[in-house]
A and B are shown apart, each in its own frame.
Chain A
């Protein structure tokens, strides 16, 4: 498997976040190519034929998405989705903190291709450090004439604003992000119309993830053929994988799409601590259905294989769970998260997440019966596909898959918790009898 490094090639270079070092390493060269040697249509064509797919979760072709933006002189917008809040994902954080100019360059090129003059980076509020880094980088880019009116004395102009969120997972959903950026509560919108037709301020809007946009300068800079050399036929390029959970060396690793998962989990991240084995893992952030070790570890890590296995590549975050972790508290933690983050707009999600938490609490406290597993699985299937956005699905899919694949463990957990309760009831009963006996008439 190829060990080509792209996004992380210079990531540890001191001062990369500054303009000087970035330019010394060939930064903004791709922008010059895009601006002076290519027509917007050619850029679109290059992006589409490069096979670059969105890295945010859905995996849709980036070039195709950009080509949906209508031509014309209306106000069009580009939003960079930097609201990286999918549990387990932290590759955007690294890119923004260490290599902000790559993102800015990608945004400018994408804006040229789509004919956009106003761009926003929506960064989550918790990323204070990264937002400050971006602010400085944007100011530098304005100073150097890469942003603003007449970029590098061409006719193309672009304004870029770094917009900080304030702590809402749902704002990573693209239409909720738009609402939030418009100054509303971050509620998802009904689709269609899709953002490409009516997005921000009702104008056509292109929304892309940080990692996707960071790949754009490479597509233009090295050319389509070179870019496609890494990865599989349908999933081109490299992917930053955030490996976390029960592994010895959690971190961001850049792999060619199609690398076997075992190599990522054991080879790069060191696998679970000694003496433990992988029970299951989330292949694409906590919203992805879990795969057990047997079914998942030997699959190649790309969009198609994950979809075929009944899961998804999602945000590219592998969370490893080892055999020592009980699943019920883990599912409860997950459900708590989604209950808290549900915006409350659609009933299946609002009620479903709430009841899942309550049922899991009952299981953990020994008040559930095996029938509750059945009911809970049914609740999950009633959430999936019945809401405006996929937040409810994001809970229902992993928990549904846990119930399906580790049903025995859930049933055992219920039984053990009940047995524990019965035992303590017995003790309590015996204690009461004893106290009655001693308090009896003397």
Chain B
């Protein structure tokens, strides 16, 4: 039955060829419940094989909050970073350290978008297709990246549309393994895919964290910044350049000019 489930509209390329396509419902949703079975209990730390550094990390997070339950998200992050996703064993390990039931952790993991209880791939490409990106042709970019991934047989990567990633100034954009890149064009798809396959940083110089990152319409010589668009009072154009490149940093200005 599971095999006949419709595939999701984003590819889950071969992290585990035998794993079923990522179901639309929460895992176990369609499975019958064994009512005679005892409910899952809090696993004993002594009987659970928890890697020491993972345990230390989770305990550190627990120490930061007045209530240990608050550390659930950081703890699941720690486990997911380690294993790539959150398999049952990982949930058991976190549960043992945090002294909660694995079911509780599953209820959290299934609520938040960035946690995966199924293997979806260690790399992630989140293409923002929310309103602001939508009107700047993000769906095209998304389709191009997916097509490029299929073409080049990219594996171990989750490619999906994502809610607004909070970078509408660089729309259309994507978050490649947490690195924000943009503005993108459909022609950037192959570069992104090859970079992931080769373990390179995709699109150097066009990531938000790059030191020389600059939005294209602000880059280049100062003329573009200060020329007022038709019908705009000069004062406002001056304001524009001031907003982005405040007075008092002439060196920065000069540096960008070169």
> A: which residues have CB within 8 A of B?
1, 3, 5, 8-14, 75, 84-90, 92-93, 97, 118, 124-129, 161, 163-169, 180-186, 201, 242, 244-246, 248-254, 263, 266-268, 270-271, 282, 286, 317, 319, 321-322, 325, 329-330, 333-334, 337, 340-341, 343
Asked whether A245 lies within 8 Å of B136 as measured between CB atoms, the reply is: yes
Asked whether B131 lies within 8 Å of A183 as measured between CB atoms, the reply is: no
Asked whether B203 is an interface residue with its Cβ less than 8 Å from the other chain, the reply is no
Asked whether B168 lies within 8 Å of A248 as measured between CB atoms, the reply is: no
Nearest CB of chain B from residue A16's CB, rounded to whole Å: 10
Asked whether B56 is an interface residue with its Cβ less than 8 Å from the other chain, the reply is no
> Inside 8 A of B209's CB, which chain A residues have their CB?
129
Q: Complex formed: what's the CA distance from A245 to B170 in Å?
A: 10
Asked whether B166 lies within 8 Å of A89 as measured between CB atoms, the reply is: yes
Asked whether B73 is an interface residue with its Cβ less than 8 Å from the other chain, the reply is yes
Nearest CB of chain A from residue B170's CB, rounded to whole Å: 8
List 10 tightest A-B contacts by C-beta distance, closest first. Answer: A167-B113, A183-B69, A244-B168, A267-B236, A166-B112, A87-B164, A167-B114, A244-B132, A183-B72, A128-B178
Please pick, from B108, B164, B232, B245, the residue contacting A183 in the complex, using a CB distance under 8 A. B108
In the complex with contacts A14-B252, A267-B237, A267-B239, A249-B131 CB distance below 8 A: no
Asked whether B243 is an interface residue with its Cβ less than 8 Å from the other chain, the reply is yes
> Inside 8 A of B249's CB, which chain A residues have their CB?
12-13
Q: Complex formed: what's the CA distance from A14 to B115 in Å?
A: 35
Asked whether B132 lies within 8 Å of A245 as measured between CB atoms, the reply is: yes
Our count of residue pairs bridging A and B at CB distance below 8 angstroms stands at: 204
Query: Which one of B65, B77, B129 has the highest number of Cβ atoms from chain A below 10 Å of its Cβ?
Result: B65
In the complex with contacts A244-B132, A330-B135, A124-B166 CB distance below 8 A: yes
Asked whether A245 lies within 8 Å of B236 as measured between CB atoms, the reply is: no
Asked whether B28 is an interface residue with its Cβ less than 8 Å from the other chain, the reply is no
Question: Whose C-beta in chain A lies nearest to the C-beta of B245?
Answer: A12
In the complex with contacts A3-B238, A181-B70, A244-B243 CB distance below 8 A: no
Interface size (B, Cβ < 8 Å)? 65
> Inside 8 A of A250's CB, which chain B residues have their CB?
132, 168-169, 171, 215
Q: Complex formed: what's the CA distance from A9 to B246 in Å?
A: 6
Q: Complex formed: what's the CA distance from A378 to B182 in Å?
A: 39
Asked whether B7 is an interface residue with its Cβ less than 8 Å from the other chain, the reply is no
Q: Complex formed: what's the CA distance from A88 to B128 in Å?
A: 11
Residue-wise, chain B 122-145 has the 8 Å CB interface mask toward A (1 for contact) of 000010011110111000000000
In the complex with contacts A125-B114, A166-B115, A88-B164 CB distance below 8 A: yes
Nearest CB of chain A from residue B36's CB, rounded to whole Å: 28
Asked whether A333 lies within 8 Å of B131 as measured between CB atoms, the reply is: yes
Given contacts A11-B246, A126-B175, A252-B243, 12 further A-B contacts (CB under 8 A): A12-B249, A86-B164, A89-B166, A89-B168, A163-B73, A165-B112, A167-B113, A167-B115, A246-B135, A250-B132, A254-B243, A267-B240
Asked whether B218 lies within 8 Å of A126 as measured between CB atoms, the reply is: no
Asked whether B169 lies within 8 Å of A182 as measured between CB atoms, the reply is: no
Asked whether B131 lies within 8 Å of A88 as measured between CB atoms, the reply is: yes
Asked whether B233 is an interface residue with its Cβ less than 8 Å from the other chain, the reply is yes
> Inside 8 A of B73's CB, which chain A residues have their CB?
125, 163-166, 180, 183
> Inside 8 A of B76's CB, which chain A residues have their CB?
166
Nearest CB of chain A from residue B59's CB, rounded to whole Å: 15
> Inside 8 A of B242's CB, which chain A residues have their CB?
3, 5
Asked whether A251 lies within 8 Å of B164 as measured between CB atoms, the reply is: no
Asked whether B111 lies within 8 Å of A75 as measured between CB atoms, the reply is: no
Asked whether B231 is an interface residue with its Cβ less than 8 Å from the other chain, the reply is yes
Q: Complex formed: what's the CA distance from A270 to B244 in Å?
A: 14
Question: Whose C-beta in chain A lies nearest to the C-beta of B80?
Answer: A166
> Inside 8 A of A128's CB, which chain B residues have their CB?
178
> Inside 8 A of A87's CB, which chain B residues have their CB?
130-132, 163-164, 168
Question: Whose C-beta in chain B lies nearest to the C-beta of A325?
Answer: B135
Asked whether B153 is an interface residue with its Cβ less than 8 Å from the other chain, the reply is no
Q: Complex formed: what's the CA distance from A90 to B71 in Å?
A: 27
Please pick, from A8, A161, A185, A245, the residue contacting B108 in the complex, using a CB distance under 8 A. A185
Asked whether B107 is an interface residue with its Cβ less than 8 Å from the other chain, the reply is yes
Asked whether B66 lies within 8 Å of A268 as measured between CB atoms, the reply is: no
- Per the 8 Å Cβ criterion, residues 61-99 of B in contact with A are 64-74, 76-77
Asked whether A163 lies within 8 Å of B74 as measured between CB atoms, the reply is: yes
Q: Complex formed: what's the CA distance from A195 to B67 in Å?
A: 18
> Inside 8 A of B107's CB, which chain A residues have their CB?
185
Residue-wise, chain B 18-30 has the 8 Å CB interface mask toward A (1 for contact) of 0000000000000
Asked whether B165 is an interface residue with its Cβ less than 8 Å from the other chain, the reply is yes
> Inside 8 A of B136's CB, which chain A residues have their CB?
245-246
Q: Complex formed: what's the CA distance from A268 to B229 in Å?
A: 9
Asked whether A161 lies within 8 Å of B167 as measured between CB atoms, the reply is: no
Q: Complex formed: what's the CA distance from A181 to B68 in Å?
A: 11
Nearest CB of chain A from residue B71's CB, rounded to whole Å: 7
